[in-house]
Copies of this chain bind each other. A is one copy, B any other.
Amino acid sequence: MREPLSPEMFDPMCPSSAFPIQIGGKWTGMLIRCLEHGPRRFTELRNALPAVTPKVLSETLRSMERDGLLTRTVHDENPPRVEYELTGLGRSLLDLIEASRAWAAEHFHTLLKARDEHDLESSP
């Protein structure tokens, strides 16, 4: 745990807009996975999800805090340090996320193929 988060943790080219399973908001599932191995700072999370603007990241984190999925801790230091950490409730979603990933590994390509073929038939 506590290894740095890679900017390539999530592939921006992955056709996840077609992905049929979503946990919370658009980024909630990925954030839960980012926090799986311990608390992270705002900038660490930004680094792992370069496509997400600070505003959206902040909004997502606040809504997750509201739902009791994570805690936000401000350390009174200079420079300021804020850490986000999963609660038990947030952690309870990890199994479901893993199940979604397993479904994707087995079936996602079938869905994408069906979509491609359907699109070819209707607009040649």
Contact = CB atoms under 8 A, between A and B. Distances in A.
Interface of A: 18, 20-24, 28, 65-69, 89, 92-93, 95-96, 99-100, 103, 106-107, 110-111, 113-115, 118-119
A66 B20 contact: no
Contacts of A20: 23-24, 28, 67, 69, 93
Please classify the interface of chain A as helix (H, G, I), strand (E, B), loop, or mixed, using the class held by over half of its residues: helix
Contacts of A22: 21-23
How many copies of this chain does the complex contain? 2
B68 A111 contact: yes
A115 B118 CA distance: 42
Nearest to A114: B68
Contacts of A107: 89, 92
B23 A118 contact: no
B68 A89 contact: no
A106 B111 CA distance: 30
